């Protein structure tokens, strides 16, 4: 199983905005209980959809500027980017199949 890639301010444009495939971003923090709950689902989906959907993880404590730019006020927050634009946003923990439903229609 694959794991999501780490997204930072330095690779955001290349990995997210210029991505030829949809990108699901997981805004999280190490101290966040609900973030830890969904982390295995995120990793499983990264492996299952490798090559069709890119799964990126943004640690809000390390990438505060990206969190502010995306108006993140609660975590976990999941955002789907397609063709360089946000198409879907979800706040809070969710079951694996719900997370999958955020991007299943665009792959």
Active site (annotated) includes residue 35: yes
Looking at 7, 16, 23, 35, which residue is catalytic? Answer: 35
Look up residue 21 and give its two tokens: 């495939």
Looking at 23, 24, 25, 32, which residue is catalytic? Answer: 32
Active site (annotated) includes residue 92: no
Which residues have C-beta within 8 Å of that of residue 23, sequence separation ≥ 6?
Answer: 15, 16, 53, 54, 55, 56, 80, 81, 82
Which positions are annotated as active-site residues?
A: 32, 35
């Amino acid at each position: 199983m694959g794991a999501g890639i780490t997204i930072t301010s330095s690779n955001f444009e290349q990995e997210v905005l210029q991505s030829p495939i949809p990108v699901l971003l997981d805004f999280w923090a190490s101290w966040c209980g609900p973030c830890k709950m969904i982390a295995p689902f995120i990793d499983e989906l990264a492996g299952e959809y490798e090559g069709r959907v890119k799964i990126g993880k943004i640690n809000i404590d390390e990438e505060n500027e990206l969190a502010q730019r995306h108006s993140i006020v609660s975590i976990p927050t999941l955002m789907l980017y397609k063709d360089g634009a946000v198409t879907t946003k979800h706040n809070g923990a969710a079951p694996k199949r719900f997370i999958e439903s955020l991007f299943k229609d665009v792959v």
